[in-house]
Amino acid sequence: MTFFEEDRNDNRGKVEKVRSGLKIFERNLHPEVVDEIGGWAEHPELSKLLEKLESIRGWEQFLDHYAEALIARHLIGHGCELEVEVPTINGKKADFRVSEGNQTFYIHVKRLNFDKEMRNDLKVGTRLDSLRREGFGFSFSKSLTDDEMQQFCKEAFRLSKELVNGESKEVTSKTGEMLGECHRMKRGQSITIYSAKDGDCSDRFLKKLKSAYRQFMPDCVNVILVRSAWRDDDSIESLRESADDFWSDGGHPCSSIVGWFVFDPRGDSVDFELFFRENFEKPPHIGKLFRGDSLKRKRLDESV
């Protein structure tokens, strides 16, 4: 039985094959992960995640639900039992109820929406994808216009032929304005596209935390996990600051754990970073489940 296609009758009674979410995007995903998720069809809980994925045609919406599936896969791999879309209060739902031994907690998954500048930078990432696979990294001094993107990519390809391992060079525009840098990474170095964004993401992170808080299960441990588009120190620090603001002056007392996560769609793991309210006794089982150094370190690639 296939989980990737469905039969659909057109107005003339002709049966056509309709490609569904996993099938549409499988070339951009890890094949073993796709096979594993495809095997969830008969699972009473995980089948809900598969059904969502199979109904989607757009990449960004697909990634939202694929992120949930990767988190579910990660938790199952650590011996947890899951319930999906669990009702809480006021008609809201938690994405997961997680049980590990005699410990239970709830997870609320959010995505930091792309703004216009972030979308532009992702376009640059797409054009530079071949260089990144060859061991180059890039940083941008600002959000680039379409014309500046073209200039950056052209100059980066030229510089790539000149750089030696560990060397970096500035990328400038036709008028001499600095657009960013091209880096030839040493073996073992992280390969990441960094973006210098006007301001930071703290306000948007804070809105996501407040939205998740309204979905909390009262009198239980609730964990908020926020996915950003970037694997960089600025994104992590923005969420850390947002969590501090979220908890400041005793605010949102039912919340004590906030997490950042990111993944490469072509990879088979998720990277996490957890933040805890000050003076909160950290649950060891949660820290262990989302401990970053226990995971395979993958590079971010949202640029499909």
Q: Is the same domain home to 90 and 122?
A: no
Range of the domain at 57: 5-80
Q: Is the same domain home to 214 and 75?
A: no
Low-confidence ranges of the chain (pLDDT < 70): 1-20, 113-129, 132-133, 142-143, 146, 186-201, 229-234, 292-304
Question: What integer pLDDT is reported at residue 76 of this predicted model?
Answer: 94
User: 129, 15, 67: which is closest to 261 by C-alpha?
Assistant: 67
Kind of pairing between the strands at 136-140 and 178-184 = antiparallel
Q: Is the same domain home to 42 and 147?
A: no
Question: What integer pLDDT is reported at residue 186 of this predicted model?
Answer: 62
Domain total in the chain: 3
Q: Is the same domain home to 157 and 31?
A: no
**The pTM is what?**
0.68
In a domain, 278, yes or no: yes
Domain boundary among 165, 195, 225: 195
In a domain, 300, yes or no: no
Q: Is the same domain home to 33 and 139?
A: no
Q: Is the same domain home to 97 and 220?
A: yes
Q: Which DSSP symbol is given to 91?
A: T
Q: What gap in Å lies between CA 162 and CA 24, rounded to an integer?
A: 38
- 181 bridge partner residues: 139, 170
Q: Is the same domain home to 61 and 205?
A: no
Q: Is the same domain home to 30 and 172?
A: no
Question: What integer pLDDT is reported at residue 94 of this predicted model?
Answer: 97
In a domain, 275, yes or no: yes
Question: What integer pLDDT is reported at residue 302 of this predicted model?
Answer: 33
Q: Is the same domain home to 277 and 213?
A: yes
Domain boundary among 60, 80, 100: 80
In a domain, 302, yes or no: no
In a domain, 31, yes or no: yes
CA distance to 5, 214, 248, 268, per residue, from 34 (Å): 14, 32, 41, 10
